[in-house]
A and B are shown apart, each in its own frame.
Chain A
Amino acid sequence: MKRHILGLAGASALAIGLQTGAALAQECSVNVGTLYPTSVDWGRPIAETALWVGEMINEAGGVDGCDVNMILRDDQNDGRVGVDAARALVDIDQVQLLIGTVSSGITIPILTSVTAPAGVMQMSCCSSSTRLTEIAASGEARGLWFRTFATADVQAAVAAMLARDAGIESITVVYKNDDWGQDIGRMAAAAFEAVGIEVHASIALNDAQPSYRAEATQALRDQPGALYLALYPTEGISFVREWLGLGGTSVMIGANSLRSDDFRTTVGLANLGDFIGTDTSSPRVPSAEAFVDAYAAHFGSAPSGPGLANSFDAAAIALLAYHAAGRDATGTEIAAQVPRVTDPDGEAIPATVEGFAQAMAILSEGGSVSYQGATGAVTFDANGNVSAPAVSWVFDDSGMAEQRYISLEEVSGFMASIN
Chain B
Amino acid sequence: MIGVVSYLTFFLTMAGIMAIITLGLNLQWGYTGLFNGGVVAFFGAGAYGTMILGGPAEPGQFGGFGLPYLVALGGGVLLAAALAWVVGLLTLRLRHDYLAISTFGVAVALESLARNSQWLTGGARGMRGFPRPFEAVIESNFLFGVVFLLIVLAVLALVWWGIERLVHSPFGRALRAIREDETAARALGKSPTRLRLWSLVIGAAIMGAGGGLYVSYTAFVSPQDLLPILTFQVWAMLIVGGAGNNRGAVLGAVLIWGAWTLSGFALTRLVPDSMQLDAGSIQYILIGTLIVSMLLWRPEGLLPERISNPRNTTVAKAAHTSNKE
- Give me the interface of A with B, judged by CB distance under 8 Å: 1, 4-5, 8-9, 11-12, 14-15, 18-19, 37-41, 44, 47, 72-74, 76, 78-81, 83-85, 87-88, 90-92, 94, 103-106, 108-109, 112-113, 117-119, 129-131, 134-135, 138, 140, 177-179, 181-183, 204, 206
| CB <8 Å contact, A91 and B270 | no
Main secondary structure of the interface of B (DSSP, over half): helix
By beta carbon, the residue of chain B nearest A204 is B116
CB 8 Å contact bits of B259-276 with A (1 = contact, 0 = none): 111111111111000001
A109 to chain B, nearest CB (A): 4
A190 to chain B, nearest CB (A): 14
With A74-B279, A78-B229 already in contact, 7 other A-B pairs whose C-beta atoms are closer than 8 Å: A4-B259, A38-B268, A39-B281, A76-B280, A112-B220, A113-B218, A129-B125
With A38-B280, A39-B280 as contacts: A88 and B259 at CB distance below 8 Å: no
Cβ < 8 Å to A, chain B residues 222-243? 222-225, 227, 229-230, 240
| CB <8 Å contact, A131 and B126 | yes
Cβ < 8 Å to A, chain B residues 21-54? none
Give the residue of B123, B258, B265 whose beta carbon is less than 8 angstroms from that of A88: B265
Complex: how many Å from CA A15 to CA B266?
Answer: 7
Complex: how many Å from CA A134 to CA B129?
Answer: 9
Give the residue of B10, B240, B264, B266 whose beta carbon is less than 8 angstroms from that of A1: B240
Complex: how many Å from CA A311 to CA B225?
Answer: 25
A358 to chain B, nearest CB (A): 29
Contacts of B7 on A, CB cut-off 8 Å?
Answer: 87-88, 91-92
Which 8 residue pairs across A and B have the least CB separation, nearest first?
Answer: A39-B280, A105-B224, A91-B7, A15-B269, A109-B218, A105-B222, A179-B124, A112-B219
Contacts of B269 on A, CB cut-off 8 Å?
Answer: 12, 15, 18-19
Complex: how many Å from CA A88 to CA B262?
Answer: 10
Cβ < 8 Å to A, chain B residues 199-232? 214, 217-220, 222-225, 227, 229-230
B83 to chain A, nearest CB (A): 21
| CB <8 Å contact, A1 and B302 | yes
Q: Say whether B14 faces chain A, with CB atoms less than 8 Å apart.
A: yes
By beta carbon, the residue of chain A nearest B217 is A113
| CB <8 Å contact, B262 and A135 | no
Q: Say whether B171 faces chain A, with CB atoms less than 8 Å apart.
A: no
Complex: how many Å from CA A4 to CA B265?
Answer: 15
Complex: how many Å from CA A1 to CA B280?
Answer: 20
Q: Say whether B290 faces chain A, with CB atoms less than 8 Å apart.
A: yes
| CB <8 Å contact, B128 and A15 | no
CB 8 Å contact bits of B148-184 with A (1 = contact, 0 = none): 0000000000000000000000000000000000000
With A38-B276, A84-B14, A91-B6 as contacts: A105 and B223 at CB distance below 8 Å: yes
- Give me the interface of B with A, judged by CB distance under 8 Å: 3-4, 6-7, 10-11, 14, 112, 115-116, 118, 122-126, 128-129, 132, 135, 141, 144, 214, 217-220, 222-225, 227, 229-230, 240, 255, 258-270, 276-281, 283, 290, 293-294, 298, 302
| CB <8 Å contact, A177 and B128 | no
Complex: how many Å from CA A117 to CA B135?
Answer: 9
With A92-B3, A92-B4, A131-B128 as contacts: A87 and B10 at CB distance below 8 Å: yes
| CB <8 Å contact, A79 and B218 | yes
A154 to chain B, nearest CB (A): 18
| CB <8 Å contact, A74 and B280 | yes
**A and B contact pairs by CB, cutoff 8 A, 26 listed:** A5-B255, A5-B259, A12-B266, A14-B270, A15-B266, A38-B279, A39-B277, A39-B281, A39-B283, A83-B218, A88-B261, A91-B10, A92-B4, A92-B7, A104-B222, A106-B224, A108-B220, A129-B126, A131-B122, A131-B128, A134-B128, A140-B128, A140-B129, A177-B115, A182-B124, A182-B125
| CB <8 Å contact, A179 and B10 | no
| CB <8 Å contact, A84 and B11 | yes
| CB <8 Å contact, B118 and A8 | no
B279 to chain A, nearest CB (A): 6
Give the residue of B3, B144, B225, B276 whose beta carbon is less than 8 angstroms from that of A94: B3
Complex: how many Å from CA A108 to CA B221?
Answer: 9
B269 to chain A, nearest CB (A): 4
By beta carbon, the residue of chain B nearest A117 is B141
| CB <8 Å contact, A73 and B264 | yes
A46 to chain B, nearest CB (A): 12
Complex: how many Å from CA A39 to CA B261?
Answer: 14
| CB <8 Å contact, A72 and B262 | no
Complex: how many Å from CA A183 to CA B279?
Answer: 32
| CB <8 Å contact, B277 and A38 | yes
| CB <8 Å contact, B265 and A72 | no
With A109-B220, A183-B125, A204-B116 as contacts: A12 and B262 at CB distance below 8 Å: yes
Complex: how many Å from CA A134 to CA B255?
Answer: 37
Complex: how many Å from CA A60 to CA B259?
Answer: 39
Complex: how many Å from CA A177 to CA B260?
Answer: 29
Complex: how many Å from CA A206 to CA B184?
Answer: 47
